[in-house]
Amino acid sequence: MPRKAFVADLQQVQSRSPHPSVSSIKKGEDDGSFTFKVADSGRSIEITVLIPELGDYPSEHECFLYATAENVPESISKAIESINARAKKIADIINITATAICSKRGLKRQHSTEYDPIFDEDSMDIDEDETGEEEEDQYEEDYDDGGFGDSEDDGSIAGWSPAMSENELVGDSQVAGSSDPLECDYIKEFCLDLRAVKGAGFKVGVLGNLPGGSGYLSISIKISKLGISDEAMTAWRLNPDKYLVLLMHYPAGYKPLSAMAKDSYTAKKWIQVYVGTSSRYKPSLQEAIAAFTKVKKFKEDQDGNTHIFKTESGKLDVHGLSDSQIDPNTPIFEGTFISRPVSELLNERLLALTLYRVSYGFGWDGAEMFYEDFQGRERSDTVDDIYYKKDDDGIVHLAPLVQADVLQSNCKSHDDIPFPLVTMQYLLRHFVRCTEFCLVCHNKIDANFEALKPYVCSKPLCLYQYMALGFGPSMEYEILDQPSVIDLLVSFCWVSATNGKLSEFPTGLNLTVPIPGHFPYTAIFDRAQQELTVEVNEGDSIRLNTGDWIVMTASSGSESIHCRVVDGEYFPKVRLAIVANNPQSIFNPDSINPIVIMGDTNVQVSFGVYASNFDDLSDGIKRNSIVQMLETLPSVNEMREWLIMNTKVGEEVSLKTWRNKISSSALLLLRWVVASNRSCIVQIDQTPDDPIEYKQGEHPPDVAASMMEETKEKKKAILGEERVHGMDGWIQFRFAMGAPDKEQRFVNEVRSAVETNGLIFPTIFAFHGSPLQNWHSIIREGLHFRETAHGRAYGNGVYHSLDASVSLGYTNSYRTFNSGTGSGQRWWSKSHLCINSAMCLNEVVNLPDQFVSKSPHLVVDKTDWIQTRYLFVQTGRVATGVSQPVAPVASIPPKTLPQDPGMTPRGIGSKNLIIPETASTVRTRSGNDQAVSQVRPSPAKKSRIGSKIKGIVKRSLGSTSGFGQDDDGYSSCATDQEDRDILNIDEKVKVNGKDTSLKGKGKQAVKKNPNAFIPGNLDISSIQLLSEPSYASPLATKRINQELRSLVKIQESHDLEELGWYINRDHIENVYQWIVEFHSFDLSLPLAKDMTKHNVRSIVMEVRFGKDFPMTPPFFRIIGPRFLPFQRGGGGHVTAGGALCMELLTNSGWSAVSSLESVFLQIRLALCSTEPNPARLETGGNSSYSPHEAKDAFIRACRTHGWQVPPDFNSII
């Protein structure tokens, strides 16, 4: 593997230097970097080498070299800059560099420092059909063959992030010199592939300069057309009215499968994909760029603390606005619950899997098995028959669109295969059937139960990556959205562990726990100072460090108290914080409240350390440890309130920073409890949330109230209509289990029963009760009858009753639980629900004569005849200090389901249940293909559906897999004209580059805003700029030219209003000094309103590059207008001197692989940010900043945040 090769080569040169003048070879601070020292003429020069894309090592990687020290002789600097170390191993890089330095022959002649590299107007003429060689620096021709002037180099640098420009790949001359997106070697394949995608029923969109240049291909389908059940939609948090979008990024122009198949390894550079959802069939260009941008955003709060805001695998921060501030009609491209794992699968494996299928004739199952078995191993000449097995028959329950497979009928040649269509069909396979595959290793899960939510396989490493590395869902969002559900899950786990029923454990997570009841060490605890003085005896190996956790108890035998060591520097005396039984302030995560231990000031205590590996414990001790760790957690309401008080809008929501209250082991355990739940539970009853009371001097953040009230009233109105009437005093939850297609199988069984038996009431509802300790397993594995719990006197099957009181008798609600610690408590002590018993209400096919038994119990042995609908929870007595939720009395639902008079369920007090119409998707679904008509088929209805399908197939150009339509009247948005033009272009005209259907695409659109931006209207005669630079370097000049060509090309091919930035080529007299205008802000923003008020059409910025670019960031400063300072309520990351307060633009946050296109997007998002305050203009609105103001403000901001000022900053200014 590339990383292993890099590490091995580095270790080899560390053991034996490849050059006699080289020493001190070390691993660098950044991944893929190393340093070494070269001795020359009595001096020692340290060289840093950076390989941005370690995955390309050792054959295709790009390599950057630079001297670490200042005041390096110019001749040596030029020798280093001239070295071509691309695709060379570490030993060769060191040897070449040392030889060049020692011989001083890195350049044939010295480059004058007085040279001022002017950006030639000819170099901006990207309409020429040339490779870009002539537009490089005028002194590049003087380099020897070892420099950057190789004939194969077009001025680009390979191996950068997919968010970069189209010039990023070495040798792609057609991209570097082409301005017409229609000039492409693969124009015919591009048109045919897109038409195949369109014909298969998907919507197609194009962003950027495809097919000839850098751009994005969007393929989408309405989620409602995928045949996903309502229960799965709810569990996966999908909106059926949105589109599932496959976004394919081609950084160097479109490449068909035939081109990528020639070198499948390097083909990964030609294409990257990302999966998300959007309210439109394609995202905007800004959203597409952001989806492939891996740079994090940083924001500053009022106290000067820096907060990280996610930009990948989650919601994109569109225009810097929160959800409540975004117009619901605005298209938003955002990640889904499975975006990260499925995007990684497509990027890493799909091309290889496709080639396996073409070469060997496998199905998807066989190709996946073959990939797993032979990954990294030599393949045999013969292929086992097992790989040719037929794909699972279970897919017959899926929508035809999901079952479609273009490779089944078109698998003979790479030339005939539309790879975008293959990618979309493979995406649907893993998206719709996500519960069948591990979210980490992507292999099929071998489980004997069905699940509604995706999870991981039984491999410990997969569980670790899923839980510890953030692959799983956000537990914190669940706490904010459904606190009662989290309380329910923790309570079920606690009871299961307490009663010895818990059989699956969070192994592989590297949990460290104390042994319950084991206190091997003694100490003196000073209650006044919160200090613990450890008594270290001879032979003891104990050492407490800051961040360690201990559990201690007084010698008198008082309860155990779990504490975090907040200061272990002066061991054996350490300072403690408390976790349990003494709540911290929710306003300060680092607050340390006094530990309450009765007795004298100095108390003798015994304690144990969180040092035992959970995986090594016996099952019994594991259960006790789980109980112990759950008891250290705060209540769910406390956690929810803390998250609200300590999270800004748009900020990453996390409990990790509450480190003095929740140990890392307890937090991981809580994540496991929440993430391993594979059913869908939605709280209906809104348990009364006690209002947060603020102490004197404490004030919540401005966003707290909006977060708490965001959807509260709306949810109450919707969920209140779903309550079952007749279950007074019980808390109600909507409840669904089983695989995503289980609902479809249930529908099929109901339809079959109706057609065969002519049922008037196709289904009935009945209760199922089970002891509380079983529910942790039930919500993960579903209802089954593999174990015998109550004798099964009436046969094998799932037992039901029409009477709630009968099922209540099987819940063992009278039992007193024993926690194993002698406490005798009956529920999790921090629970708000205080659950005493639970039972569910199931919908069952109404064929009692075919049940195993119908009296006195209903015993059903066909699990496809059963679908869970509700979970009812009975609360116990009020625990000390815990307010008990009161279950509201259900009113009669406005729309109800008629019940079979002879099989009507009876609730509390033998009252007949009145069930809302929304409880059954079988008997009420009328908005999609699984409607009531499926239960009672109508010939006329069948005819209309049949003709519609025939029309679809006809429009699909003979495709039998087509299922959706383009603009079919199902609330689909119309395809943009530019995308229709792409699909209708004549290939012959496109090949010759003479087509005019897309000409003028990049011209400024007509704007309704009277203050709209007008390009070329800026007068720079009165602008005060920084003095012109007197420095230059070949690497910097090359890269700046490349970036400028790319940006101008993007600007000329896109709507300026959509881009939001503008560069006037006429204003660039030096490539190291640019003027950029940011414009066309959302009119709802305060900044846009101020600009309109003061007649300001753009925010003018100066961009200055240093001689070490791209190893150091450029300097951005606002020329004008002046912004309102932060101290006076301003925002937008603009300092008082006009510099930008963004870590991205400092040495601490800058990456050499960042493209300026993505940097411009980040800056625009920062200006649009409304948190903590929106950007505003100063009164007057037209004055400007001086360069020295910006310099001082930038240095001041870096010192405030601890960011590193770029080493070449003084030379820039």
Catalytically active residues, by annotation:
1141
Give the phi and the psi of residue 26 in degrees, each rounded to 5. Answer: -135, 160
Burial class (CB in 10 A: 0-12, 13-18, 19+), 27: middle
Residue 675, both tokens: 């993430």
Q: Please state, in angstroms and rounded to a whole number, the distance separating the CA atoms of residues 209 and 254.
A: 9
Number of CB atoms found within 10 A of residue 533's CB:
16
- The answer to whether the beta carbons of residues 421 and 248 sit under 8 Å apart is no
Nearest to 1038 by CA among 112, 170, 93, 87: 170
Sheet holding 1115-1120, edge to edge: 1061-1063, 1073-1078, 1099-1104, 1115-1120
Report H helices in 786-899.
804-808
First to last CA, the chain: 44
Residues in the chain: 1213
512, 612 Cβ separation under 8 angstroms: yes
- Amino acid letter, 167: N
What CA–CA distance (Å, rounded) separates 887 from 484? Answer: 12
**Cα angle value 772/776/777 (rounded, 5°):** 110
Structure tokens at 831: 């629970």
Q: For residue 166, count CB atoms less than 10 angstroms from its CB and return exposed for 0-12, middle for 13-18, buried for 19 or more.
A: buried
Closest by CA to 1132, choosing from 126, 341, 297, 17, is 297
The letter for the amino acid at 871 is L
Beta bridge partners of 195: none
The one-letter amino acid code at 104 reads: K
Using only the alpha carbons of the chain, give its radius of gyration. Answer: 33
CA distance 880 to 1180: 62
Backbone angles phi, psi at 503, to 5 degrees: -120, -20
Contacts of 246 (CB under 8 A, 6+ apart): 218, 219, 220, 273, 275, 420, 423, 424, 427
For residue 194, how far is the Cα from the chain centroid?
A: 28
Phi-psi label, residue 500: left if phi above 0, alpha if psi -120 to 50, beta otherwise:
left
Which strand (E) or helix (H) includes residue 708? helix 704-709
Residue found under tokens 């080529």 = 1065
DSSP secondary structure letters along 282-334: S--HHHHHHHT--PPEEEE-TTS-EEEE--SSS---GGG--GGGS-TTS---B
CA angle 1204, 1206, 1208 (to 5 degrees): 150
Q: Report the C-alpha gap between 873 and 685 in whole angstroms.
A: 11
Distance CA 1135, CA 1193 (A): 6
Helix (H) or strand (E) holding 64: strand 64-67
What span, in angstroms and rounded, lies between the C-alpha atoms of 310 and 652?
6
Rounded to an integer, what distance in angstroms lies between the CA atom of residue 338 and that of residue 313?
Answer: 9
Alpha helices in 410-459 (DSSP H): 419-432
- φ, ψ dihedrals at 1056, nearest 5°: -65, -35
User: In terms of Cα–Cα distance, which of 616, 595, 615 is closest to 607?
Assistant: 595
- Cβ atoms of 660 and 590 closer than 8 Å: yes
Phi, psi (rounded to 5 degrees) for 290 = -65, -30
